[in-house]
């Protein structure tokens, strides 16, 4: 895995690396390998994951077909079109 550091901006490169690792599932794998998982526990977890994936796929399909409303878009602070952060009122609780 390779991440380029542009203009000595290590913070941006680190964020890009974390995002790539997250997409690849490295963090999930590290968490899973911290302790031994019994085969019976693994089967239960995998079955739950399969059910969760199936429900998510059915929900997405229903949204595409118009049976369910589309999810509301998440607003990120500082993004164009997002509401400005609220200014401090000068009132403090001490």
> Is residue 91 pLDDT above 70, yes or no?
no
User: pLDDT, tens digit, for every residue of 12-45?
Assistant: 999 999 999 999 999 989 998 999 999 999 999 9
Q: What local confidence, expressed as pLDDT, does residue 77 receive?
A: 73
For the cut 80, the answer to whether the pLDDT of residue 61 exceeds it is yes
∠64-66-72 over CA atoms, to 5°?
A: 75
pLDDT number for residue 36: 92
CB distance 59 to 65 below 8 Å: no
User: In the chain, where are the structural domains located?
Assistant: 1-35, 37-69
Assessment of whether the complete model's pTM goes beyond 0.85: no
In this predicted structure, what is the pLDDT of residue 52?
A: 97
The whole-angstrom separation of Cα 64 and Cα 57 is 11
Q: How many CB atoms lie within 10 A of CB 68?
A: 13
| Choice among 12-21, 37-46, 69-78, 85-94 with the minimum mean pLDDT | 85-94
- Which of the 8 DSSP states describes residue 65? T
Mean pLDDT of 58-74: 90
């Amino acid at each position: 895995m390779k991440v380029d550091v542009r203009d000595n901006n290590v913070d941006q490169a680190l964020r890009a690396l974390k995002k790539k690792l997250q997409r690849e599932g490295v963090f999930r794998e590290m968490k899973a390998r911290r302790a031994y998982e019994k085969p019976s526990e693994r089967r239960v977890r995998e079955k739950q994951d399969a059910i969760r994936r199936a429900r998510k796929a059915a929900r997405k399909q229903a949204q595409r077909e118009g049976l369910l409303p589309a999810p509301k878009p998440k607003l990120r602070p500082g993004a164009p079109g997002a509401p400005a952060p609220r200014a401090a009122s000068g009132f403090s609780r001490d």
